[in-house]
């Protein structure tokens, strides 16, 4: 039987059977023999019921013997830094800052998507070895895991100590799994899933590009004011100045407040609701680092809206960037975004398009 030099194991369903941490038959003896055989072990789990210290104590009470410092980590709790490098030369760094995650862009921290970080860590913790493919260093290059390979994933603690350092190679035909090698190991493994989505992900994939809090919904918006002086590349101008309010009475109908000449005009409530939803879910394409000329000192469009609990938000749209994007920011916010032209058009709906048919 070919021996392994490194093992990455999940806890539940691998060495224990259930939430009572009943050992899988013979797993205690097997695991405790690994260190004696010179096999390096990493136990990972997404367990949120017990703290890492409590789970370590429980497993030791069950008879498992391993060093907490050298072997054990609760992955989602222990990871404070994610580094992803791809064949295309891209390098992603995501770090935990308190309760938040930040993605490094041009040397500066920007909000990262906690949801996508969670998906990634869940995926990493759930990786399983389908089979050992080779333990011959001469075969590394054919699987894309040679020392010079650029596709790598490294997970580290806050102090910088590596928890997992993985060289990720080619995908199995059909994208069913990735070939990989733990740094320091000779063994090439076929993993249970492909990691190409993460390796090919852009900075935008990891970024939290929503303009507003997640609890904001279109249904909570009660007032919308749009001011715009836009000229789109297709030659269509958009000159807008209107304010709409949602009645607090039964039916919650939208009404025109200004311009005065249109006051009382019947509106298509569903169309205005769609506009409100667009504003609540407003999202950029990417963050813009530094201080480029954005045109936001004299915005081409301003969209102000208020909610039923008296919160006010203002989107400022500046100059164009390239053929189909605009600079934008939240008034008073600290981040500059690029947003697509279609989103600008959607957020600056002409009043005529929302009138009742």
Region 180-209: mean pLDDT is: 89
Confidence of residue 193 (pLDDT cuts 50, 70, 90): confident
Structure tokens at 71: 């072997």
- Cα–Cα nearest to 78, from 121, 37, 114: 121
Tokens of residue 213, six digits = 């809090």
Full DSSP string of 20-72? T-PBPTTHHHHHHHHHHTT-EEEEE----SS-HHHHHHHHHHTT----TTTTB
Model confidence, pTM: 0.78
Please, what CATH class does the domain formed by 218-354 belong to? mainly beta
Closest C-alpha among 13, 129, 6, 121 to residue 75: 121
Q: Which residues in the chain are classed under CATH 3.40.50.1000?
A: 6-75
The residue count for the chain: 357
In CATH, which of 3.40.50.10890, 3.30.360.10, 3.40.50.1000, 3.90.1150.10 is domain 6-75? 3.40.50.1000
- pLDDT at residue 47, as a whole number: 60
The pLDDT confidence band at residue 43, using thresholds 50, 70 and 90, is confident
Cα three-residue angle 83-86-91, rounded to 5 degrees: 45
Q: What is the mean pLDDT of residues 114-139?
A: 86
pLDDT at 5: 61
Q: Between 10 and 224, name the one with better pLDDT.
A: 224
1 pLDDT more than 50 = no
**Cα separation of the two ends of the chain:** 76
Q: Average the pLDDT over 64-72 and give the result.
A: 67
Peptide bond before 310: cis, by omega within 30 degrees of 0? no
Give the C-alpha separation, 287 to 328, whole Å.
Answer: 10
In this predicted structure, the answer to whether residue 262 has a pLDDT above a threshold of 70 is yes
What is the pLDDT at residue 271? 95
CA nearest 245: which of 161, 177, 313, 307? 307
What is the C-alpha separation between 118 and 149, in angstroms, rounded? Answer: 26
Q: Is the pLDDT of residue 69 over 60?
A: no
Q: Are 112 and 207 in contact (CB under 8 A)?
A: yes
Q: Is residue 356 pLDDT above 70, yes or no?
A: yes
Task: Return the C-alpha torsion angle 157, 160, 162, 164, nearest 10.
Answer: 50
Query: How confident is residue 99, by pLDDT bands cut at 50, 70 and 90?
Result: confident
Q: What percent of the chain has pLDDT over 90?
A: 57
Strands 188-191, 178-182: pairing is antiparallel
Find the mean pLDDT for residues 331-337.
95
CA distance 178 to 95: 25
Least confident of 31-35, 104-108, 235-239: 31-35
Q: Would you call 166 exposed, middle or buried from its count of C-beta atoms within 10 A (0-12, 13-18, 19+)?
A: buried
The structure tokens listed for 160 are 């910088």
pLDDT band at 308 (very low <50, low <70, confident <90, very high): very high
Per residue in 272-286, pLDDT (tens digit) is 999 999 999 999 999
Banded pLDDT at 2 (limits 50, 70, 90): very low
Give 70's pLDDT tier (boundaries 50, 70, 90). Answer: low
Domain with CATH 2.60.40 in the chain: 218-354
Residue 81: pLDDT over 80? yes
Count CA atoms closer than 13 A to 264's CA, side-chain side.
Answer: 2
310 Cβ contact partners less than 8 Å away, ≥ 6 residues apart? none
Locus of tokens 């789990």: 45
Q: Mean pLDDT, to the nearest integer, of 232-236?
A: 90
- Is pLDDT of 335 > 50? yes
Q: Are 273 and 306 in contact (CB under 8 A)?
A: no
Please give the mean pLDDT across all residues of the chain: 88
Contact 68, 55 (CB under 8 A): no
CA nearest neighbour of 316 among 332, 334, 329: 329
When mean pLDDT is compared over 7-11, 22-26, 69-73, 208-212, the highest value belongs to: 208-212
């Amino acid at each position: 039987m070919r021996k392994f030099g490194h093992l990455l194991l999940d806890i539940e369903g691998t060495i224990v059977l259930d939430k009572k941490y009943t050992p899988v038959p013979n797993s205690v003896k097997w695991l405790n023999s690994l260190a004696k055989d010179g096999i390096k072990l990493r136990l990972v789990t997404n367990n949120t019921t017990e703290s890492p210290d409590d789970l370590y104590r429980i497993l030791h009470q069950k008879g498992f013997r391993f060093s907490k410092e050298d072997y054990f980590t609760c992955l989602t709790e222990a990871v404070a830094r994610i580094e992803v490098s791809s064949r295309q030369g891209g390098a992603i760094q995501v770090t935990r800052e308190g309760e938040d995650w930040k993605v490094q862009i041009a040397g500066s921290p920007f909000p990262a998507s906690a949801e996508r970080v969670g998906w990634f860590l869940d995926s990493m913790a759930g990786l399983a070895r389908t089979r050992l493919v080779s333990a011959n260093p001469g075969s590394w290059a054919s699987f894309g895991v040679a020392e010079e390979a650029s596709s790598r994933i490294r997970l580290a603690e806050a102090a910088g100590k590596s928890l997992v350092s993985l060289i990720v190679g080619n995908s199995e035909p059909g994208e069913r799994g990735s070939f990989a090698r733990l740094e320091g190991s000779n063994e090439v493994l076929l993993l249970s899933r492909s990691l190409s989505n993460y390796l090919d992900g852009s900075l935008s994939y990891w970024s939290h590009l929503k303009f507003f809090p997640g609890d904001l919904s279109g249904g909570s918006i009660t007032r919308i004011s749009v001011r715009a002086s836009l000229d789109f590349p297709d030659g269509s101008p958009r000159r807008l100045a209107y304010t709409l309010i949602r009645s607090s009475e039964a039916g919650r109908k939208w009404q025109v407040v200004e311009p005065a000449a249109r006051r009382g005009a019947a509106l298509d409530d569903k169309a205005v609701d769609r506009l409100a939803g667009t504003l609540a879910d407003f999202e950029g394409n990417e963050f813009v680092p530094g201080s480029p000329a954005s045109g936001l000192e004299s915005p081409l469009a301003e969209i102000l809206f208020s909610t039923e609990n008296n919160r006010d938000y203002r989107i400022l749209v500046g100059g164009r960037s390239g053929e189909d994007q605009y600079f934008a920011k939240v008034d008073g916010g600290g981040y500059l975004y690029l947003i697509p032209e279609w989103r600008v058009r959607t957020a600056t709906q002409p009043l005529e398009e929302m009138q009742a048919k």
